[in-house]
Amino acid sequence: MAPAFERAAVELEPHCRLLKVNTEDCQQLAARYSIRSIPTLALFQNGKELARAAGAMDSSRLVSWARTHLQG
């Protein structure tokens, strides 16, 4: 999913910033947000979680998913 993630990040900037978190290195963060599957995508705005999805997405679906939840 890494190439799709990178393409989506370029397309969504500067309105949305995509970040990766290695849950092996940041186990407390993974526990805090109850991340149980990889990949898990979580969309935040102003510190509040707006949406979450588990499983890989291609870049167009990821961009669409982010834009849909940011507009709602």
Task: Give the tens place of pLDDT for each residue, 7-30.
Answer: 999 999 999 999 999 999 999 999
CA distances from 66 to 18, 24, 25, 39, 49 (A): 10, 25, 25, 15, 12
User: Which residue type occupies 50?
Assistant: L
Q: How far apart are CA 44 and CA 56, in angstroms?
A: 18
Q: Which residue has the higher pLDDT, 71 or 17?
A: 17
Q: Whose structure tokens read 């961009």?
A: 63
Calculate mean pLDDT across residues 44-69: 96
The predicted structure's pLDDT at residue 30? 95
pLDDT of 72 strictly over 80:
no
Q: How confident is the model at residue 38 (pLDDT cuts 50, 70, 90)?
A: very high
27: which DSSP letter? Answer: H
- Asked if 37 and 55 touch (Cβ cutoff 8 Å), the reply is yes
- Answer whether 0.85 is exceeded by the pTM: yes
Using omega within 30 degrees of 0 as the cis cutoff, is the peptide bond preceding 14 cis?
yes
**Which domains does the chain show, CATH number per domain?**
2-71 (3.40.30.10)
